[in-house]
Chains A and B, each alone.
Chain A
Amino acid sequence: MKRAFSIFSVITAVLLVYGLYQALVGAPTERTMGDVQRIFYYHVPSAWTAFCLFLTNLVASIIYLIRKSAWADALAVAAAEVGVVFCTIVLITGPIWARPVWGIWWTWDVRLTTTLVLWLIYVSYLVLRRFSDTAQTPILAAVLAIFGALDVPLVYFSIWFFRTQHPQPVMGRGGSLDPRMLHAFLINLLAFSCFGAMVCWARFRLEQLKRDVDQAHAMESLAGASEPAKASLPLSRSSR
C-alpha cells in the first residue's frame, strides 16, 4: 500500500508539473482577457476536485448511516477536509480572476454565493467534527453532509438556471476551446483530481491512525497503569 501511494504521488507530481507548464507556456494567450485567463487552468480543476471530494463525503456519509462502518466515517471526514481546502482555493482564485476582468473582487451573484454557502456548510461540518465528541456526532455530521451535498448541484447548475455574471461553461452547450487550451485544461483537471485523491488518501490514513491512537489511549486508561498498553495497539497499522 505504501509503495502504491509512493508511485501514485510521483505520477501526480509529474502531472502537476506538466500541467503547470501547459497552463503557463503551452496554452495560447486568450484574446480578450489576456494572461489572466490562465487562472482558469487552476480555478476550474480546483472546483471540480472539490465537488468530487464533497460527493465522496456524501457517499461515505450514506454508507455510514446505513452500515455504521468506521472506515466510511473516516473517509467522510477526510473528503470533507480536503474538499474544503480545494473550495478555499476556488474562493480565492475566483476573486483574483474577477478583479481585472469584471473590475470587482466579489459580487453577490448566484454562482459565487452558492459556492460560499457550500464552503460554509463544510466548514461547519468540520467544526462539528472537531469540537463535538459524543456518540451521535458522526450521525449528525453524516446528516449535515447530505444537506451540504444538496448545494453542489445548485452551485453547478446555477449559471444555467439564473441570470449570473459568472461565465457559462466553455465546453458543451455551444461553448468551445482552442485545442491547446483544452489540452492544458484536461491535463490540469487530471493532475488536480489525482492530487485531491492523493491528499484525501493521506488524510484518510491519518484519521485511521488517530482513531487507533485514541482507542489505545482509552484501553490504557481502562487497563490502568499496571496493564500493558501496547497490547491494545493494532500492530498491523503501526508501520504506516
Chain B
Amino acid sequence: MNALAFLFAAYIATWVIHAFYLGTLVRRFSKLRQQMKELGKGK
C-alpha cells in the first residue's frame, strides 16, 4: 500500500464512523418522536 492509500483509509474511516454515529442519532430521534406521537394519541 502506498502513502495515499493509508491517507485515504484514515479519512474514509473517520467519515464512515461519523456517518454511522449520526445515522444512529437520527434513528433514535425518529423512534422517540414516534413514541411521543403514540403517547399523544393514547389520550
Contacts and interface: CB of A to CB of B under 8 A. Distances in A.
Nearest to B37: A238
A209 B29 contact: yes
B33 to A, nearest CB: 8
B32 to A, nearest CB: 5
Contacts of A39: 6-7, 10-11
Interface stretch (A114-122, A135-143, A210-218): A210-218
A119 to B, nearest CB: 13
Given A36-B6, A209-B29, A217-B35, 7 more contacts: A36-B3, A96-B6, A99-B6, A209-B36, A233-B39, A233-B40, A238-B36
A229 B42 contact: yes
5 contacts: A93-B13, A100-B3, A199-B22, A216-B36, A217-B39
Given A199-B22, A230-B42, A206 B29 contact: yes
Interface in B1-43: 1, 3-4, 6-7, 9-11, 13-14, 17-18, 21-22, 25, 28-29, 32-33, 35-36, 39-40, 42-43
Instruction: Tell me the interface secondary structure of chain B in the complex.
Output: helix
A111 interface: no
Interface in A52-92: 82, 85, 88-89, 92
Interface residues of A, number: 38
Given A34-B3, A39-B10, A100-B6, A88 B36 contact: no
Interface of A: 20, 33-36, 38-39, 42-43, 46, 82, 85, 88-89, 92-93, 96-97, 99-100, 195, 199, 202-203, 206, 209-210, 212-213, 216-217, 220, 228-231, 233, 238
A233 B36 contact: yes
A213 B35 contact: yes
A93 B29 CA distance: 29
Contact of A206 (B3, B4, B28): B28
Contacts of A99: 6
B10 A97 contact: yes
A220 B39 CA distance: 8
Contacts of B1: 100
Contact of A88 (B11, B17, B40): B17
B20 to A, nearest CB: 9
Nearest to A212: B36
A202 B25 contact: yes
B3 A35 contact: yes
Chain A CB within 10 A, most for which of B1, B7, B9, B36 = B7
Chain A CB within 10 A, most for which of B9, B39, B42 = B39
A210 B6 contact: no
Given A92-B13, A96-B13, A213-B39, A206 B32 contact: yes
